[in-house]
Amino acid sequence: RAVTASHTRAMRRGRAFVVWFALAWRQAHAFAWSAPLERSGRARDAPPLTSVEENTNTWAVIIDASRFWFNYRHSANALSMYRTVKRLGIPDSRVVLMLADDAACDARNPQHGRMYNDVNRGVELYGDDIEVDYRGTEVTPETVIRVLTNKHARGTPRSKKLLTDGASNILVYITGHGGDGFIKFQDQLELRTQELADAFAQMYAKNRYNEVFFIAETCQASTLAKAFASPRILALSSSGLGENSFSHHSDPDIGVYVIDRFTYNTLEFFEQLNVENTTTVDAYVKTLTQAKLLSTAVLDTKTFKHRAVNTVKLTEFFGGVSKTKVLSGVLDWFVGAESTSERTKPPTLSPKTPSLKYESVDIKTLGFR
């Protein structure tokens, strides 16, 4: 009996341990997949020294943060940039589009299902091939941070994710209403410069980008970039501290403004470009004069120190070009071409290693401890 009782107690303890282990594993697994936002700015490990790599893929995150019919122009701004990056070669699979409202299907829109950025209605922006990844109430500051840092809720489809790596150039364009150090979402929430800076710091620590081109079209837009500290972020803004960002013109038939001045002049410049164009960011910014914008376009290069702005081509962020590397001599060996004494063994691949510039960054300046 004593042996049987002892054996029974051991069995119970064993079953209890198995149940405890299963629950602990499930909780840890759920925590890892839910990926809550890390707003504290801390990281478990220090980011490694990251090299300035060659850009091999380009991504775009395009955000319209405003809702309501009278903000029609903000949707038109975002859709105009969406059309531009697609025309220059970035596929929908590498574009994350967020529209806080659906002006195209608004009951007050006489051109139902269509949107235009010009009173002459020369270009239909909505089209048949538009892919909106986040719309309506899905567009929040939290969603933006989750997309940038790749911390999504479990079950989020790949098409809604920014699947970048250390060789990715990323265009981030955001438009809406803002103020000193923030931009409004849904006329209720705010995304602040510190939150954006923290998101970029996490991206840098995880080697999620090569270079970032951040463009803000809002009032006091330059203040959105004032907290940025991560390397290789180029920030362009439609207005400076204390300045408004103005609309361009209205359409009398719908009774609202259809585009803002900054985006209108940007599109006017980009319509002259194709994917093989070598025009630089510096040349583009020079066209954004105060006479055209009625505000000051601000180019912030404080963390973009590894190369001069006049060497940065616009197509590095707005265009998608596939780059191919040719390895000579390899194919002959695989297909069994005429053998020589030098080809009796597989060729040794020794591609030239480019001289990489390594950056040493104090992670405390990025908000980590």
Active site residues: 177, 219
Do 280 and 311 meet the contact criterion of CB atoms below 8 Å apart?
yes
Helices of type H across the chain:
2-34, 72-87, 141-149, 193-205, 261-270, 281-286, 290-293, 315-318, 330-335
User: CA 125 → CA 66, 79, 115, distances in Å?
Assistant: 17, 6, 5
Burial of 128 (0-12, 13-18, 19+ CB in 10 A): exposed
Tokens in use for 79? 């859709």
CA dihedral 80, 82, 87, 89 (to 10 degrees): 160
Q: Which residues, in sequence order, are CB contacts of 48 under 8 Å at separation 6+? A: 207
Rounded Cα distance, 238 and 129, in Å: 29
DSSP-derived secondary structure for 105-166? G-TT-SSTT--BSSTT--SBSS-SS---SEEGGG-SHHHHHHHHHT-PPTT--GGGS----T
Checking phi first, is residue 98 left (phi over 0); if not, alpha (psi -120 to 50) or beta?
Answer: beta
Q: What are phi and psi of 103, to 5 degrees?
A: -65, -30
Beta strand 95-99 pairing with 57-64: parallel
What is the CA 340 to chain-centroid distance, rounded?
51
The answer to whether 169 and 210 are in contact (CB under 8 A) is yes
